[in-house]
Amino acid sequence: MFTGIIEEVGEVTDIAPRGDSAVLTVRAAGIVDDLVHGASIAVNGVCLTVVGWDVAAEGGKVTLDFDVMGETLARSVIGTLAVGDPVNLERAVRADARLDGHVVQGHVDGTGTVISRTPGNAWESVRFGLPAELARFVAEKGSVAVDGVSLTVSAVGPDWFEVGLIPETLRATTLGGREAGSAVNLEVDVLAKYVARLMETS
Q: What is the pTM of this model?
A: 0.92
Task: Provide the strand spans (E) within the chain.
Answer: 8-18, 21-28, 40-43, 46-54, 62-68, 86-91, 110-119, 124-129, 143-146, 149-156, 160-165, 183-188
Q: Which pLDDT belongs to residue 72? A: 94
What pLDDT band is residue 149 in, cutting at 50, 70 and 90?
Answer: very high
Rounded to whole angstroms, how far apart are CA atoms 76 and 58? 29
- Residue 111, CA distances (Å) to 50, 53, 117 in order: 23, 28, 18
Rounded to whole angstroms, how far apart are CA atoms 55 and 64? 9
Domains along the sequence of the chain with CATH? 8-91 (2.40.30.20), 110-201 (2.40.30.20)
What pLDDT band is residue 175 in, cutting at 50, 70 and 90?
Answer: very high
Q: Is the pLDDT of residue 56 over 70?
A: no
What pLDDT band is residue 32 in, cutting at 50, 70 and 90?
Answer: confident
For 78-136, the pLDDT digits (tens) are: 999 999 999 999 999 988 888 788 889 999 999 999 999 999 888 999 999 999 999 99
Rounded to whole angstroms, how far apart are CA atoms 90 and 44? 9
What pLDDT band is residue 54 in, cutting at 50, 70 and 90?
Answer: confident
The CB density around residue 165, as the number of other CB atoms within 10 Å, is 21
Q: Is the pLDDT of residue 163 over 80?
A: yes
SS3 73: helix
Buried b (16+ CB within 10 A) or exposed e, 52-82: ebeeebeeebbbbbbebeeebbebbbbeebe
What pLDDT band is residue 57 in, cutting at 50, 70 and 90?
Answer: low
DSSP letters spanning 121-153: SS-EEEEEE--HHHHTT--TT-EEEETTEEEEE
Q: Which pLDDT belongs to residue 59? A: 67
Highest mean pLDDT among 34-38, 55-59, 92-96, 156-160: 156-160
